[in-house]
């Protein structure tokens, strides 16, 4: 439904403007804070206009947070999550939509249910698995008595261990193993006409060939949308990296580093809070997600509204 | 030996039986049209041949090889779909050449064959376009080219013309027949449109509710329909049916209201056998009131341009007659009807199967002037 009356137009624009102000004000204040000295930021009337200290503040924040290697780390994790997610979601949706196998609907619903269990909800068991990725198998062996059997026969004590703490795998895998992307793909795959699938079969294309030659090119916009969402999601991770990485020097992520700059009782030790540095760092950390969104915007929007068919 | 031989093939989806024991032989180079109303299982039969559905029971052999367990690509069939099923992201050239690409044909050869095929269906100028930039007829051609390029033994068509407008449909119909004649492969064409069926087919297969009613040349099916169903389905406007019983004494069919319609030759049946008498609208003749074998009333007249379709009522039953003249016949006018014996079809009332009457040599029908 598209209504076009001048009054409605003005109202719509007013609402949009309010939203814009609401969103931009904090960013503006952060930017302003990042351009002043420690004294100026902490003096009584809040500064509303930028000062001249942006560059020194940025340098100071960058150095204090050791952002160089941390940006590399975060980029690796974010790209890993995007690549893993795009691939995994594509393959799972492919099998759910185009193959008929036993328990298909059961598996579908199991994946669906995981939508209701985000990482934050199952963070303790996930941590346990990350500490030893093979522990589920160990449990199975123990419960079924196979490990005791092996020990009795060979004298070897079975103890499987694969520690994912302090590793890129540990950072990436739990973020990949979610259902969101699967659904995005599934909805799109369901719109592919049966005839197209059959035409490919008649042309001699096997399932993987069909996936590669037809489905993936057709889902380009969906892939772009999913990649954008997942990149921002991975980039902004805080809780999981905080938990799984103890070796911060080697595997620290930017958002965790950023939180260290935010002044609290512990970091300042009663000194003057360094808001100018925290805000400068915030600006830097925000840049990659913004860049990605701007870069992918055209694709991204098309992928989400799914029109051109 | 038959190119495609279908033996007692049935297909069930869950508990519903869509095809129940179909037997059919299709010969090499033949153009066979499977004709039937929507939902009778035509597409299913075609898809069983193609290998897109699994056969529930029975056996299909192509070129002497039982193909029940073979993948579509191993059967040597190409298919043209109703909605074209072109790959939307590929250009026309890529669409046409995709099967060759999958088969691993070298790029140079592929390109040459794509160009030759495109030329043969008049698509040369459109090779770089995407399907979305083509008209319906052009998309249809791409779909055809995609089938032709594989040089299949068998072409399968599933209502390929039903999305085109009337004029283009006739044009593409001719083109399909020309391509068939040129290539000489076997073609199986599914349609619900009897004109398409009659004009395209070497042999027609008329289907009804999952089984085959009749197989024959279009002329055979039209002139000697094997059942009431086929008689009513083939021919437009549809055949008229009058229920009655055989009267051996009076040498004809006695209708329910006591009217006798004389037959030229009596079938070998006992007296009083219940039958359906069929007569095509183009064979019945209007006569002035009282001069025909039955009396009817005009309901309405439809002008088809070249001919007039007189919708009459005979004892609460509709009855159609096709005439050349433009008689002034307002609704309610009583008229007579002549039912020429040589054009009468008889069907058993119980089994609805055709009853053969040995026809005498056709006699010249008496010329009868029609006056209102
Ligand atoms: N995959 C399917 N699952 C269940 N029923 C089906 C399936 N395909 C076709 N049918 C049923 O089989 C019958 C015949 O279908 P179809 O062969 O497409 O008919 P036609 O092509 O003659 O219109 C229809 O009643 C249809 O509902
Ligand atoms: Mg059909």
pLDDT in tens, B298-322: 999 999 888 999 999 998 899 999 9
Tens-place pLDDT, residues B322-362: 998 888 888 889 999 999 999 999 999 999 999 987 655 55
Tens-place pLDDT, residues B199-228: 999 999 999 999 999 999 999 999 999 999
Of the candidates B21, B18, B62, B36, the one whose C-alpha atom is nearest the C-alpha of residue B158 is B36
Q: DSSP per residue over B299-358, as a string?
A: EEEEE-SSSEEEEEEETTEEEEEEESS-----TT-EEEEE--GGG-EEEETTT-BEE---
% chain A with pLDDT above 90? 21
Is B105 contained in some domain? yes
Residues B110, B12, single domain; the answer is yes
Is B368 contained in some domain? no
pTM of the model: 0.82
Helix B42-50 crosses helix A194-202 at what angle (to 10 degrees)?
Answer: 40
Q: What is the structure's pLDDT at B368?
A: 47
Q: Nearest 5°: phi and psi at A96?
A: -70, -35
End residue of a domain, out of B177, B198, B231: B231
> Could you tell me which chain A residue has the CA closest to the CA of B158?
A195
Helix A254-261 crosses helix A54-65 at what angle (to 10 degrees)?
Answer: 110
Residues B38, B98, single domain; the answer is yes
Residues B159, B277, single domain; the answer is no
Pocket of ligand 1 (CB under 6 A): B 13, 18, 36, 38-44
Residue A213 with chain B: CB contacts under 8 Å: 87, 98, 102
Q: What mean pLDDT do residues B91-115 have?
A: 95
Residues B211, B123, single domain; the answer is yes
Q: What is the structure's pLDDT at B365?
A: 47
Of the candidates B139, B46, B75, B83, the one whose C-alpha atom is nearest the C-alpha of residue A201 is B75
How far, in Å, is the centroid of ligand 2 from the Cα of B26? 20
Three-class SS state of B143: helix
Please, what's the b/e burial string for B334-362 (b: 16 or more CB within 10 A of its CB; e: otherwise)?
ebbbbbbbebbbbbbbeebebbebeeeee
Distances (CA, A) of A51 to A20, A48, B287, B295: 24, 9, 107, 107
Is B363 contained in some domain? no
End-to-end CA distance of chain B: 58
Is B322 contained in some domain? yes
Residues B150, B257, single domain; the answer is no
End residue of a domain, out of B177, B212, B231: B231
Q: Round to whole Å and give the CA distance between A287 and A283.
A: 7
Contacts of A112 (CB under 8 A, 6+ apart): A179, A183
Asked if A195 and B82 come within 8 Å (Cβ–Cβ), the reply is yes
Residues B270, B210, single domain; the answer is no
Residues B172, B257, single domain; the answer is no
Nearest-10 Cα torsion for B322, B328, B332, B334: -70
Distances (CA, A) of A169 to A81, A89, A133, A208, A231: 10, 18, 10, 27, 16
Is B25 contained in some domain? yes
Residues B37, B175, single domain; the answer is yes
Where does A191-274 have alpha helices with state H? 194-202, 207-210, 216-218, 220-235, 239-244, 248-251, 254-261, 265-268
Q: What is the structure's pLDDT at B372?
A: 37
Q: Whole domain around residue B68: which residue ranges? A: 2-231
Is the pLDDT confidence value at B112 over 80?
yes
Residue A211 with chain B: CB contacts under 8 Å: none
Asked if B87 and A199 come within 8 Å (Cβ–Cβ), the reply is yes
Residues B190, B271, single domain; the answer is no
Is B145 contained in some domain? yes
Q: Round to whole Å and give the CA distance between B148 and B178.
A: 13
Is the pLDDT confidence value at B363 over 60?
no
Is some CB atom of chain A closer than 8 A to the CB atom of B217? no
Q: What is the ipTM of this complex?
A: 0.84
Tokens matching residue B166 = 């009337």
Q: What mean pLDDT do residues A264-274 have?
A: 64
Is B366 contained in some domain? no
């Amino acid at each position: 439904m598209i209504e076009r009356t001048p009054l409605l137009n003005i109202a719509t624009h007013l609402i949009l403007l309010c939203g814009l102000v609401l969103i931009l004000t904090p960013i503006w204040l952060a930017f302003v804070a990042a351009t002043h000295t420690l004294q100026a930021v902490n003096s009584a009337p809040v500064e509303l206009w930028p000062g001249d200290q942006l560059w020194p503040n940025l340098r100071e924040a960058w150095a204090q947070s050791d952002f160089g290697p941390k940006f590399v780390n975060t980029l690796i994790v974010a790209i890993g999550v995007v690549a893993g997610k795009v691939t995994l979601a594509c393959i799972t949706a492919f099998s759910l939509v185009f193959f008929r196998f036993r328990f298909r609907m059961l598996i579908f619903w199991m994946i669906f249910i995981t939508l209701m269990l985000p990482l934050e909800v199952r963070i303790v068991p996930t941590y346990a698995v990350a500490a030893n990725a093979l522990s589920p198998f160990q449990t199975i062996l123990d419960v079924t008595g196979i490990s005791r059997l092996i020990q009795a026969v060979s004298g070897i004590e079975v103890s499987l261990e694969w520690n994912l703490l302090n590793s890129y795998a540990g950072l990436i895998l739990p973020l990949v193993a979610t259902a969101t992307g699967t659904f995005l793909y599934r909805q799109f795959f369901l719109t592919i006409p049966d005839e197209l699938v059959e035409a490919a079969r008649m042309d001699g294309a096997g399932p993987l060939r069909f996936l590669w030659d037809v489905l993936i090119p057709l889902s380009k916009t969906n892939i772009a949308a999913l990649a954008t969402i997942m990149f921002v999601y991975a980039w902004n991770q805080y809780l999981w990296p905080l938990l799984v990485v103890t070796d911060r020097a080697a595997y620290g992520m930017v958002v965790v580093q950023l939180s260290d700059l935010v002044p609290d009782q512990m970091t300042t030790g009663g000194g003057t809070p360094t808001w100018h540095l925290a805000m400068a760092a915030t600006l830097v950390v925000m840049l990659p997600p913004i860049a990605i969104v701007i870069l992918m915007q055209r694709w991204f929007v098309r992928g989400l509204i799914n029109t051109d068919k | 030996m038959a190119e495609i031989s279908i033996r007692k093939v049935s297909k069930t989806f869950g508990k519903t039986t869509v095809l129940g024991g179909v037997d059919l032989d299709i010969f090499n180079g033949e153009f066979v049209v499977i004709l039937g109303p929507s939902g009778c299982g035509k597409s299913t039969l075609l898809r069983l041949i193609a290998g897109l559905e699994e056969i529930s029971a029975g056996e299909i052999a192509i070129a002497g090889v039982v193909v029940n367990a073979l993948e579509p690509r191993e059967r040597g069939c190409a298919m043209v779909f109703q909605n074209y099923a072109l790959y939307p992201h590929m250009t026309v050239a890529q669409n046409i050449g995709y099967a060759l690409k999958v088969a691993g044909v070298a790029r140079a050869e592929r390109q040459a064959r794509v160009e030759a095929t495109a030329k043969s269906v008049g698509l040369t100028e459109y090779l770089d376009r995407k399907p979305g930039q083509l008209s319906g007829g052009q998309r249809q051609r791409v779909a055809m080219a995609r089938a032709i390029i594989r040089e299949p033994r068998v072409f399968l068509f599933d209502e390929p013309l039903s999305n085109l407008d009337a004029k283009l449909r006739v044009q593409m119909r001719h083109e399909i027949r020309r391509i068939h004649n040129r290539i000489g492969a076997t073609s199986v064409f599914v349609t619900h449109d009897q004109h398409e069926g009659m004009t395209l087919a070497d042999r027609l297969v008329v289907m009804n509710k999952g089984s085959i009613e009749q197989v024959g040349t279009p002329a055979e099916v039209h002139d000697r329909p094997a059942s009431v169903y086929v008689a009513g389905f083939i021919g437009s406007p549809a055949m008229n049916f009058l229920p009655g019983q055989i009267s051996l004494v009076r040498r004809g069919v006695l209708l329910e209201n006591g009217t006798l319609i004389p037959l030229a030759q009596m079938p070998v049946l006992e007296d009083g056998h219940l039958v359906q008498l069929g007569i095509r609208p183009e064979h019945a003749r209007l006569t002035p009131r009282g001069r025909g074998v039955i009396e009817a009333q005009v309901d309405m007249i439809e002008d088809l341009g070249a001919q007039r379709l007189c919708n009459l009522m005979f004892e609460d039953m509709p009855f159609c007659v096709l005439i050349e003249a433009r008689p002034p016949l307002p609704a309610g006018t009583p008229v007579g009807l002549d039912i020429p014996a040589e054009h009468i079809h008889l069907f058993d009332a119980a089994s609805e199967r055709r009853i053969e009457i040995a026809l005498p040599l056709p006699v010249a029908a008496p010329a009868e002037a029609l006056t209102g």
